[in-house]
Amino acid sequence: MILYSIVQKLVWNNIDWNQIIYINFEDERLSDFTVSDFNDIILVKNEFTDKKAYYFFDEIQNIDGWEKFARRLADAKEFVYITGSNAKMLSKEISSTLGGRYLPKYISTLSFSEYLSGLNISHDNDSLFSTSNKGKIIRSFDDYYHFGGFPETLTLIVKREYVSNIYQKILLSDVAVKNSIRNDYGLKLLVKKIAETVTDDVSFSRLYYSLKTIGISISKDTLIDYIGYLKNAYLLFDIKNYYAKFSERESNPKYYFNDNGLLNLFLVDSDPVLLENVVAIYLFNRYNDQLYYLKSPETKTDIDFFIPEENTAIQVAYSISGSARKREISNLIRYAKANNDCRLIILTHNEEEIIQEEAFTIEVMPAYQFILGGK
C-alpha cells in the first residue's frame, strides 16, 4: 500500500510508467529467483526507457544476497524503495551492509484514523459531534483497541486468530530463528511477563526473578538481549522516566506493545491496560523518544505520559468514577504545582468534562477523541 501510494505520486508528477519498476518477491512465479537474476531487472528496464528509473522491491528479503544488489544501485545513485519483514531486515544489519546509502521508514499498523478510513467512517471534527457517526466511531474504537490495527482485521471475522498467527508464525518465530534462540519457551514466557507489566515500570532484575520463580533459568544479560530482539522486531517499545538520572533511565522503563491486538493475546478482561497501551502507541508514533513517564517517590508523582516539548502531562483511566477520580486528579495537581503553564489531561473510555481544581484546569476526554485530534 505504501509503495503504491509513492508510485501514484510519481505518476501525478509526470513520471512515465516505463520508468517505474515494481517487483513483489512474494509472487510464486519468482520462487526460483536468485541473486544472479537481479541484473536482468536492469537489462529489462533499459529495453523500456533510457530515463532514470524508480525501483520498487517488495519483500526483497526473500532473496538471499539482495543487499549487494541494493548497494550497487545505491552506488549508482538510483532511486530504490525496498520493503521487507521487520524481523528479517533489521536496520542495524542493513546499515552494516548499505552504510549511509539508505533512509529507513518505519511503517506501523493502522492508526485509528487510518482504521476508520478503511471502514469508510467519517472522522473529522464535525463527525465527532454527530450523534449517528459518533456511535460508529465509538464502536470501531472498541474493536480497534481490542484487536489492533493490522489491515486484515478490518474485514476478518476471526480477528484474534489472525493476530495470534501473526505473533506465532511471523514475529516470535522470526525473532527466535534469526537470533538463534534455542530457549524459545523462555522467550515466549518473557513476552507474557512483559505483557503483565504493561502500565508499570519494570526492571531487568524484576523480570529476571519473575522468570526464575517459574523455573526459567536465563541470565540477566541474555534477558536483556531478548528484549532488544523484541524491540528490533517492533513487537515492543519502551518509554523512560523523565525524572530519572540519564544513567538510570534504561534500567526501569515502561514497556508497551506496538499493536493492541498482540497485547490482548495475553490479557483477560483488561480493558484499562488496553486503553493505556493504545494511547501509548499513538503518542510514541507521534513523539518517539521525546515521550516519557513521570515517577518520583520523593514528590509522590506518578504520571502515565509526559511530553516535555509541550509541557503536557497525561493520565489514562478507563473511568474516573469512585476512588480513581481523586487518585488521577491528585497526581496531576502535584505536578502542576511545581510546573507552570502545563497542560493536564485525563483520557478515559467515554467520560468527558472539565475539572477545575486549585486554580488548575484538567481536561477529561475519551481516548478516541484525543487520538483523532478532536479537542
pLDDT grade, residue 358 (50/70/90)?
Answer: confident
The CATH-assigned architecture of domain 158-268 is: Orthogonal Bundle (1.10)
CA 223 from centre of chain: 22
Ramachandran area for residue 196 (φ above 0: left; ψ -120 to 50: alpha; else beta):
alpha
- Percent of the chain scoring above 70 in pLDDT: 94
What average pLDDT does this structure show over 183-195? 93
- Enumerate the domain spans of the chain: 2-98, 118-152, 158-268, 271-375
Q: How confident is the model at residue 131 (pLDDT cuts 50, 70, 90)?
A: confident
Neighbours of 228 (CB within 10 A): 13
Q: What is the pLDDT of residue 340?
A: 80
Q: Are residues 34 and 46 in contact, defined by beta-carbon separation less than 8 angstroms?
A: no
Confidence band, pLDDT 50/70/90 cuts, at residue 364: very high
- What's the mean pLDDT when you consider all of the chain? 89
User: Are the beta carbons of 128 and 374 closer than 8 angstroms?
Assistant: yes
Taking alpha carbons only, the member of 193, 191, 192, 203 closest to residue 295 is 203
List, for residues 23-66, the tens digit of each pLDDT value.
Answer: 999 899 999 999 999 999 999 999 988 999 999 998 888 888 88
Lowest pLDDT segment from 45-54, 79-88, 306-315: 79-88
In this predicted structure, the answer to whether residue 168 has a pLDDT above a threshold of 90 is no
Least confident of 51-60, 92-101, 117-126, 247-256: 92-101
* pLDDT tens readout for residues 325-341: 999 999 999 999 988 88
CA 102 to chain centre: 21
Query: What CATH number should be reported for the domain whose range is 271-375?
Result: 3.40.1350
Phi and psi at residue 274, in whole multiples of 5°? Answer: -65, -35
Cβ partners under 8 Å of residue 126, min gap 6? none
* Tens digits of residue pLDDT in 274-295: 999 999 999 999 999 999 999 9
pLDDT of residue 97: 63
Q: What pLDDT is recorded for position 102?
A: 66
Contact 336, 360 (CB under 8 A): yes
231 contact partners, CB below 8 Å, separation of at least 6: 237, 238
Which grid cell is 375?
479537542
Per-residue model confidence (pLDDT) at position 43: 92
Q: Is the pLDDT of residue 374 over 60?
A: no
Q: Mean pLDDT, to the nearest integer, of 126-143? A: 85
